[in-house]
Chain A
Amino acid sequence: MVKYIHLIPLFPFLAFAINIVFGRRLKKISALLAISACVISFVLSVLTFLSCANGNTISYTFIKWLDFKNTSLDFGVMADPLSCMMLLVVSIVGILVQIYSVSYMRNDTRFSRYFAYISLFMASMLALVLADNFIMFYICWEAVGLCSYLLISFWFERASAAKAGLKAFITTRIGDTGLFIGILILFSLTGTFNFNALAQHTSGNGAMFGVAAVLIFCGAAGKSAQFPLHVWLPDAMEGPTPVSALIHAATMVAAGVYLIARVFWLFLGNQPALMLVACIGAATAFFAASIATVQNDLKKILAYSTISQLGFMMMGLGVGGYSEGTFHLMTHAFGKALLFLCAGNVIHTARTLDIRRMGGLFSKLKITGITFIIAGSSISGLPPFSGFWSKDDIILETLHSGHPFLFSLSIITSLLTAFYIFRMIFLVFFAKACLPEHAKESLSALTWPLIILAFFAVFAGFLGSPFMNYAFQKFFYSGGGHALVVTNSDYFMMVFLACVSLAGILVAYSFYVLNNKILPLPLRAKFSGLYNILYNKYYLDEIYEFLFIKPCLRIANAVLKFDANFVIEGTVNIITRAVSIFSRLLRAAQTGFISNYLLAALLGVLFMVVIKSAGIKICVFQF
């Protein structure tokens, strides 16, 4: 067995190191370095996938880090079907987004630093999916969060971007705390960090394992923007659009889903924890979809769509669908990344983010428009695009596992998803034109990645469909020790779901194309209260500000005042006052009277005589 798997994250990391140090001199070559490093990683990932195709898992340790009495911390890799799938997705999307960025960021002054950060992100993400123990996983988890922060606030001259980066980091940090506590609980219960070794402990399914599972889900909820830690994702749209495509649509936010899948045996043994995952996922999906229906900012719609689809993935995992959730992860990655890259083109052409001010772009941006529609259809669950197969799998799973409430909620959410996606499409591309005359299709570097991603968006779904005999699911289950759930083809459900998506599209069509925005306005007037709540994201940001942020800032200010005025000043003042008191005491001896000095001299002599006559020895002064 050739041990090359641990080199997969190494090449992007080298690209990061070179770009950070020599970036200013390299300028455009830094992009070449970054992309070629990712290509090498992609090739290695393909090789890894091929060697795991039979379902065997490769795992080995490549660095021994710390050795304790009972345990040791190492860096090791584990390549099982889940990791291989993630490797392929991450590297493909990464390469395409970086090619897009070459053109998108070509006028930016910090061009090479952008590619350095992207390379660091790729290295961390690849290492994350290859990690074989919790400690290495957590390190990469934090590194990925760091890169997210760096890239969100890439244009940090804008105050809003800097604040958004901070918000993202702090919100995910709250989740990470739970994750770390969960890791430590697992360690205290089992004495190991290694995933393989932990999976052997499925027998000890007590309450503490459940607590650990819930805490680990906290971490996943932070990274994957589940309610209530989702507030950072819409603000993260301040970053460059390729960053949104790569990190906040395809890969980083999928890390949470990957985590749940990685320790799925833990959740399988604790049904309450699993139900929690499913419920929060479903709630998040519905919640975000409802907000997305009334947003007017193009990227914000996509952000809420991401949150909603992540909720879907969590729900899929939560009802026991190990392969369904991860399948949706894969199809969503391609579709959402494609959507973001197209959005980048659209925004660049229309010079605005507001979809109410766009319109009629289809005639100008043919390629972008077509790929946008393909991606939107995939996300909405329209057959035969890939999103349909994965969403269908999840909804079927909810029904077969006996959760009717979740089933109905997910149907409603699918309806809403189709509605807002196509609302966006109609308003941007087919509404009345109101854009400047010189708009044209973008450069080829910006369109070729779109075409390739569209290819994946169309055809990647077939892997898990009946057409290819559920190859994806079979591949997945061959690796782990989970029982293979027989997936029968429920054709009735498939048709039903397709009709649901079509219904959503029709509603959007009637609202925005037929009546040309006339109908929505009276509706909005009638339901103005509901509209306001949805438009303001259920006022969640304001609630957080009131409950947590303002008191925290107040406490911090009070502590600062106490520290600066009392502790630091007090210490300095005490020292100065002590010195002045002491000096005043000593000064009293300098009276200037000769008689006093004589008396002092006499007292000294008497003292020495007394000491001598008493026979006391004082160090070396023995008289």
Chain B
Amino acid sequence: MIPESHFLILGAILFSIGLFGALTQRSIIGILMSIELILNAACINFVVFDKFLGNSDGLGQIFVLLVIAIAAATLVVGLALVIAVYRSSKTVSAEDINLMKW
């Protein structure tokens, strides 16, 4: 019914929007949200190929489960870092945290 390329195009659009957000957000939390979006776009790809390449044993879906778990873990650590940074410098703006500048 719905050709797989359309799913893939949806995934591509979501990926681009997430990428745009990652590049342009000022707040770290916004960057993290955009990364979540990127991850989800990739997960759509996995599930699409899992369905459209016949006779799979569910590897795509399992992969997505694991991705969700790992994304959660990443996010947990990342947000803990955000809180720690906020505690020390009272800001979460990505432009103000530039200690790595020369």
Q: Answer yes or no: do A and B interact.
A: yes
B102 within 8 A of A: yes
| Contact between B23 and A598, CB atoms less than 8 A apart | yes
Binds A, one of B2-10, B48-56, B92-100: B92-100
Contacts of A592 in B (CB 8 A): 97-102
> Nearest-CB distance from A606 to chain B (Å)?
11
A598 to B25 CA separation, bound complex (whole angstroms):
11
Q: Which one of A587, A595, A599 lies within 8 Å of B94 (CB-CB)?
A: A595
A594 within 8 A of B: yes
B98 to chain A: closest residue by CB: A592
B99 to chain A: closest residue by CB: A592
B37 within 8 A of A: no
Contacts of B31 in A (CB 8 A): 594-595
A590 to B100 CA separation, bound complex (whole angstroms):
8
Contacts of B97 in A (CB 8 A): 592, 594
A591 to B25 CA separation, bound complex (whole angstroms):
16
Known: A593-B95, A594-B31, A594-B94. A587 touches B102 (CB 8 A): yes
| Contact between B23 and A591, CB atoms less than 8 A apart | no
B19 within 8 A of A: yes
A595 to B93 CA separation, bound complex (whole angstroms):
11
| Contact between A602 and B95, CB atoms less than 8 A apart | no
| Contact between B102 and A590, CB atoms less than 8 A apart | yes
Interfacial residues of chain A within 530-544, with CB under 8 A of chain B in the complex: none
Most buried by B among A590, A592, A599, A602: A592
> Nearest-CB distance from A591 to chain B (Å)?
6
A589 to chain B: closest residue by CB: B102
B24 within 8 A of A: yes
Contacts of B101 in A (CB 8 A): 590-592
Contacts of A598 in B (CB 8 A): 22-23
> Nearest-CB distance from B25 to chain A (Å)?
7
> Nearest-CB distance from A27 to chain B (Å)?
70
> Nearest-CB distance from A588 to chain B (Å)?
9
A52 to B3 CA separation, bound complex (whole angstroms):
121
A587 to B100 CA separation, bound complex (whole angstroms):
12
A602 to B99 CA separation, bound complex (whole angstroms):
22
| Contact between B99 and A599, CB atoms less than 8 A apart | no
| Contact between A593 and B22, CB atoms less than 8 A apart | no
Range for the number of chain B residues in contact with chain A: 10 to 19
- Total cross-chain contacts (CB, 8 A): 30
A593 to B98 CA separation, bound complex (whole angstroms):
6
Contacts of B19 in A (CB 8 A): 602
Q: Which one of A587, A591, A595 lies within 8 Å of B24 (CB-CB)?
A: A595
| Contact between B98 and A599, CB atoms less than 8 A apart | no
Contacts of B28 in A (CB 8 A): 594
Contacts of A602 in B (CB 8 A): 19, 23
A592 to B95 CA separation, bound complex (whole angstroms):
8
Contacts of B23 in A (CB 8 A): 595, 598-599, 602
A131 to B28 CA separation, bound complex (whole angstroms):
94
Range for the number of chain A residues in contact with chain B: 10 to 19
Contacts of A591 in B (CB 8 A): 98, 101
B26 to chain A: closest residue by CB: A595
Contacts of A594 in B (CB 8 A): 28, 31, 94, 97
Interfacial residues of chain B within 45-102, with CB under 8 A of chain A in the complex: 94-95, 97-102
Interfacial residues of chain A within 372-393, with CB under 8 A of chain B in the complex: none
A463 to B79 CA separation, bound complex (whole angstroms):
121
> Nearest-CB distance from A302 to chain B (Å)?
79
| Contact between A595 and B100, CB atoms less than 8 A apart | no
A587 to B101 CA separation, bound complex (whole angstroms):
9
A594 to chain B: closest residue by CB: B94
> Nearest-CB distance from B96 to chain A (Å)?
10
> Nearest-CB distance from A604 to chain B (Å)?
13
A81 to B27 CA separation, bound complex (whole angstroms):
108
Contacts of A590 in B (CB 8 A): 100-102
Interfacial residues of chain A within 51-80, with CB under 8 A of chain B in the complex: none
> Nearest-CB distance from B42 to chain A (Å)?
14
A587 to B99 CA separation, bound complex (whole angstroms):
14
> Nearest-CB distance from B36 to chain A (Å)?
15
Contacts of B102 in A (CB 8 A): 587, 590, 592
> Nearest-CB distance from A32 to chain B (Å)?
77
A371 to B99 CA separation, bound complex (whole angstroms):
98
Contacts of B95 in A (CB 8 A): 593
Interfacial residues of chain A within 578-623, with CB under 8 A of chain B in the complex: 587, 590-595, 598-599, 602
A599 to B101 CA separation, bound complex (whole angstroms):
16
A593 to B95 CA separation, bound complex (whole angstroms):
6
Contact with B along A21-38 (1 / 0, CB 8 A): 000000000000000000
A594 to B26 CA separation, bound complex (whole angstroms):
10
Contacts of A595 in B (CB 8 A): 22-25, 31, 94
Contacts of B22 in A (CB 8 A): 595, 598
> Nearest-CB distance from A586 to chain B (Å)?
9
Contacts of B100 in A (CB 8 A): 590, 592
Contacts of A599 in B (CB 8 A): 23
B24 to chain A: closest residue by CB: A595
> Nearest-CB distance from B99 to chain A (Å)?
7
A256 to B91 CA separation, bound complex (whole angstroms):
95
Contacts of B25 in A (CB 8 A): 595
> Nearest-CB distance from A179 to chain B (Å)?
67
> Nearest-CB distance from B84 to chain A (Å)?
16
A592 to B97 CA separation, bound complex (whole angstroms):
8
A142 to B11 CA separation, bound complex (whole angstroms):
92
Most buried by A among B19, B28, B102: B102
B34 to chain A: closest residue by CB: A598
A588 to chain B: closest residue by CB: B102
> Nearest-CB distance from A543 to chain B (Å)?
67
Contact residues of B with A, CB < 8 Å? Answer: 19, 22-25, 28, 31, 94-95, 97-102
28 A-B residue contacts at CB 8 Å?
A587-B102, A590-B100, A590-B101, A590-B102, A591-B98, A591-B101, A592-B97, A592-B98, A592-B100, A592-B101, A592-B102, A593-B94, A593-B95, A593-B98, A594-B28, A594-B31, A594-B94, A594-B97, A595-B22, A595-B23, A595-B24, A595-B25, A595-B31, A595-B94, A598-B22, A599-B23, A602-B19, A602-B23
20 more A-B contacts (CB under 8 A) besides A592-B97, A594-B28, A599-B23? A590-B100, A590-B101, A590-B102, A591-B101, A592-B98, A592-B99, A592-B100, A592-B101, A592-B102, A593-B94, A594-B31, A594-B97, A595-B22, A595-B23, A595-B24, A595-B25, A595-B94, A598-B22, A602-B19, A602-B23
Contact residues of A with B, CB < 8 Å? Answer: 587, 590-595, 598-599, 602
What are the 4 A-B residue pairs with the smallest beta carbon separation, nearest first? A592-B98, A592-B101, A590-B102, A592-B100
